[in-house]
Structure 1
Amino acid sequence: MTVSMQIPGGAALPAWLPKNARLYLRHIEEGLSLRAIARDEGCHASTIMRKVRAFENRRDDPLVDEALTRLGRLVFGSGATVVQTQSQTEEGACPMTAPIRHASPKIVDQATLEREARRILRRLCEFGAVLAVAGELDKAAVLKGTVRTAVVDREVAEAFALKDWIAVKSVGRVTTYQITQAGRAALKRLLAEEQAARNAGLGDAANPFADQHRDVEDHELTDDQTGQPRRVRINLSESPLAILARRKDKDGRPFLSPDLVAAGERLREDFELAQIGPRVAQNWDRFLTAGDRGSFGSADALGGSSRARDRVAAALRDLGPGLGDVVLRCCCFLEGLEAVEKRMGWSARSGKIVLRIALQRLKRHYEETYGCQSPLIG
């Protein structure tokens, strides 16, 4: 004789669940046709079919498969029947039979997911760190070599996999996962939101979704007037040149043409090559308006690539004061145009015009010196 136990259902799909996963569950677990879902979504049935198939292929991932099974059981009641023998119900579990592991009747809420993401994803960003998930264990562990650095509930790890924050690295008795680019971006966004909550009412409003694409770093420069060091925060993922290149003039054309942007990036590439060594941006302060535009000194003292340093020196000498300053600050130091205008004593919104003139002159310098082809690096 057998007794059936029905796990309670009726839960709602969590707000954090990706849209494609919702579509997949509605089709597979709820039993709606692709055309019915397409009518609800206002798109073609073939679009829904591609999304459903794409998520079906992800079920090779053990955590994704478990997460979808868990949601199907709790929300739609699918596969929720657990069978026990009469002897097990009357006398307890059979000593010769291992207990059957079932997904726990719990769905991770948004607050828990975000809190655990800030803790676990930060650990996974460390070099060599992986998330290990083993067989019937209800916990997953972050390992760095043989050292366990964090532990997280299995259902939280499943949510990470559903949101594509982690991806399978190796499969076996113990499946390991590593953080993805989407996971790194999500961590940046969550940390920015946390910082914005702490600094509520102080300074400018934060934009966490923009912060997730930024790679902010503090650089130390020397002030031209006081000679004292000052710290500047820059976004390594995007230069002021790239931001200005997206703007349009009154005729609808890009304010900076692609060849001008390429000239500025070429200067920045040489600048970065020349910074290989213990000393960084301070090496170039002598080329600013308030400094001496003389020789660089020995390569051993300054470090970096001597050829790249010579190319930057030649370009700045050709541009001269003013034009050389603006390209150095905007293209190499990644300072914003407003900061450059203030430091140079220029009127507002004049910096972009000077920068375009400087880039035109820089482009001509490269063409006259090296021809149409970029010089080989190294």
Structure 2
Amino acid sequence: MQRYLDHTEGGCSIRQLARELKCHPSTVLRQIRRVENRRDDPLIDCALGELAAAHFDRLAAPKFQHFADSATLRTAALEVLARLCQSGAILAVADGMEKAVVVREGDSAMSKLAVEQGLAGNMALLGWISCTRPGRLRRYHITPMGRTVYSRLMADRENRARANLEQGFSETQHRFLPGRGDRPKERRTRYGLGETPLDMLARLQDKSGEPFLPRELVDAGKRLREDFELAQVGDHLAQSRAYFAASEGCGRSKPPKRSAASKAAKKRAAAAMAAMGSGLNDIALRCCCHLEGLEAAERHLGWSARSGKIVLRIALAQLKAFYDETDERLGDSHGNQLIG
């Protein structure tokens, strides 16, 4: 876009641009032709006009704030991209109308979302949406690049929200920094959060608009966490009873005796971990039982970024198959007693 505007609005020749960029003139020519062919779209044509006015007229501010502030663009585009990711959603733009609208088949009029044409033009210019039906009433659909950008923006927002929820006191963290002689302590995992990593993944959608994690996979992960919590609670209760029941004469407590429910829960959790196998049970234990975030789990396991959610979905599918086989063999259905 920059080279196209320098050539059409600034009057720079293609050879001059190629010398500045240290590339062949045919490369610049192809880029300029590619942008010129996209100007048939009125949204892109209007967006390029605004960019040209803001770039070559330094005193004139851009008409739309989205061209001047990338943070404003990301915040405003997140809601629009979330609507367009839904099945059957389109962005409609009519000639002579100041705003575009995001609609979905079967939805009521109250669920429509009005979008400024400056924002829609910027999204079309970046390749996040594309026109699939030109005419007086143009229809735009989200592109694969737009879905990727939406996933990244949603992940960034969830990471910031989770960091604020778990850490807190970010504005005064300089007062809690350890001194030179203090040894850094390992951070303890927090339980009982309002939203687990599985709930966060369940809100994501794939390319077809379906949930990234179906409900049955989320229930399987919560079932594993329930058995894990029951086993942990049983161990703590057994140790407390053994401590208070110790004889005053000998001063030594007997080995703690766990309850039958705790033993059964620990046995079920161990069987589920063995059914998933090595590699899959690592990510399931960290995310389902320890409530560890995907980024932290990927870092501790040495995996590449954004690979944890794929492996976790495979592990949950294996876990669901194990639970289905167990329920069919035992002839009963399981219901969560602690979670969900």
Q: In structure 2, what is the Cα distance between the partners aligned to 1:40 and 1:71?
A: 21
Matched, 1:143 2:130: no
| Letter of the 2:268 counterpart | G
SS at match of 1:164: coil
Matched, 1:115 2:69: no
Matches within 5 A, 1:258-337: 281-284=319-322
- Whether contact under 8 Å (1:116, 1:152) holds in the other structure is no
1:55 to 35, 54, 67: 35
Q: Which residue of 1 aligns with 2:157?
A: 194
Q: In structure 1, what is the Cα distance between the partners aligned to 2:23 and 2:267?
A: 62
Instruction: Specify whether residues 286 and 125 from structure 1 end up closer, same or farther in structure 2 by C-alpha distance, changes over 3 A only.
Output: closer
Instruction: Specify whether residues 284 and 177 from structure 1 end up closer, same or farther in structure 2 by C-alpha distance, changes over 3 A only.
Output: same
- Whether contact under 8 Å (1:131, 1:142) holds in the other structure is yes
Matched, 1:184 2:184: no
Q: Which residue of 2 aligns with 1:164?
A: 127
Using the aligned pairs only, state the percent identity.
33
Instruction: Specify whether residues 286 and 68 from structure 1 end up closer, same or farther in structure 2 by C-alpha distance, changes over 3 A only.
Output: closer
2:26 to 23, 46, 53: 46
1:135, distance to aligned residue in structure 2 (A) = 1.1
SS at match of 2:39: helix
Q: In structure 2, what is the Cα distance between the partners aligned to 1:42 and 1:197?
A: 40
Q: In structure 2, what is the Cα distance between the partners aligned to 1:214 and 1:28?
A: 41
Q: In structure 2, what is the Cα distance between the partners aligned to 1:39 and 1:285?
A: 65
- Whether contact under 8 Å (2:4, 2:32) holds in the other structure is yes
| Letter of the 1:193 counterpart | D
SS at match of 2:18: helix
Q: In structure 2, what is the Cα distance between the partners aligned to 1:61 and 1:144?
A: 22
Q: In structure 2, what is the Cα distance between the partners aligned to 1:60 and 1:124?
A: 23
Q: In structure 2, what is the Cα distance between the partners aligned to 1:226 and 1:41?
A: 66
1:127 to 68, 87, 106: 87
Q: In structure 1, what is the Cα distance between the partners aligned to 2:120 and 2:42?
A: 11
Please state which structure has a larger fraction of its residues in strand: 1
Q: Which residue of 1 aligns with 2:64?
A: 106
1:142-192 Cα offsets, whole Å, 9 max, x none, are 011264521111101000000100011211211110111111111111111
1:33, distance to aligned residue in structure 2 (A) = 1.3
2:8 to 28, 31, 48: 28
Q: Which residue of 1 aligns with 2:257?
A: none
Q: In structure 1, what is the Cα distance between the partners aligned to 2:134 and 2:159?
A: 39
1:308-327 Cα offsets, whole Å, 9 max, x none, are xxxxxxxxxxxxxxxxxxxx
| Letter of the 1:132 counterpart | A
Unaligned 5+ runs, structure 2: 168-186, 188-200, 207-211, 228-264, 273-284, 292-297, 305-313, 333-340
Instruction: Specify whether residues 285 and 65 from structure 1 end up closer, same or farther in structure 2 by C-alpha distance, changes over 3 A only.
Output: same
SS at match of 1:186: helix
Q: In structure 2, what is the Cα distance between the partners aligned to 1:171 and 1:66?
A: 16
1:312-360 Cα offsets, whole Å, 9 max, x none, are xxxxxxxxxxxxxxxxxxxxxxxxxxxxxxxxxxxxxxxxxxxxxxxxx
Report how many residues are paired.
Answer: 209
Q: Which residue of 2 aligns with 1:330?
A: none
Matched, 1:227 2:268: yes
Q: In structure 2, what is the Cα distance between the partners aligned to 1:170 and 1:195?
A: 34
1:196, distance to aligned residue in structure 2 (A) = 2.3
1:107, distance to aligned residue in structure 2 (A) = 4.6
1:141, distance to aligned residue in structure 2 (A) = 0.6
Instruction: Specify whether residues 154 and 285 from structure 1 end up closer, same or farther in structure 2 by C-alpha distance, changes over 3 A only.
Output: same
Matched, 1:152 2:115: yes
Q: Which residue of 2 aligns with 1:6?
A: none
Q: In structure 2, what is the Cα distance between the partners aligned to 1:134 and 1:72?
A: 24
- Whether contact under 8 Å (1:140, 1:154) holds in the other structure is yes
Unaligned 5+ runs, structure 1: 1-20, 81-103, 205-210, 234-239, 247-267, 302-378
SS at match of 1:199: helix
Q: In structure 1, what is the Cα distance between the partners aligned to 2:21 and 2:35?
A: 17
Scaled by the length of structure 1, the TM-score of the pair is: 0.46
Q: In structure 2, what is the Cα distance between the partners aligned to 1:149 and 1:286?
A: 41
Q: In structure 1, what is the Cα distance between the partners aligned to 2:157 and 2:320?
A: 34
Q: In structure 2, what is the Cα distance between the partners aligned to 1:142 and 1:134?
A: 12
Q: In structure 2, what is the Cα distance between the partners aligned to 1:114 and 1:44?
A: 34
- Whether contact under 8 Å (1:123, 1:149) holds in the other structure is no
1:245, distance to aligned residue in structure 2 (A) = 12
Instruction: Specify whether residues 284 and 193 from structure 1 end up closer, same or farther in structure 2 by C-alpha distance, changes over 3 A only.
Output: same
1:49, distance to aligned residue in structure 2 (A) = 1.3
| Letter of the 1:120 counterpart | V
Instruction: Specify whether residues 284 and 169 from structure 1 end up closer, same or farther in structure 2 by C-alpha distance, changes over 3 A only.
Output: same
Q: In structure 2, what is the Cα distance between the partners aligned to 1:181 and 1:106?
A: 25
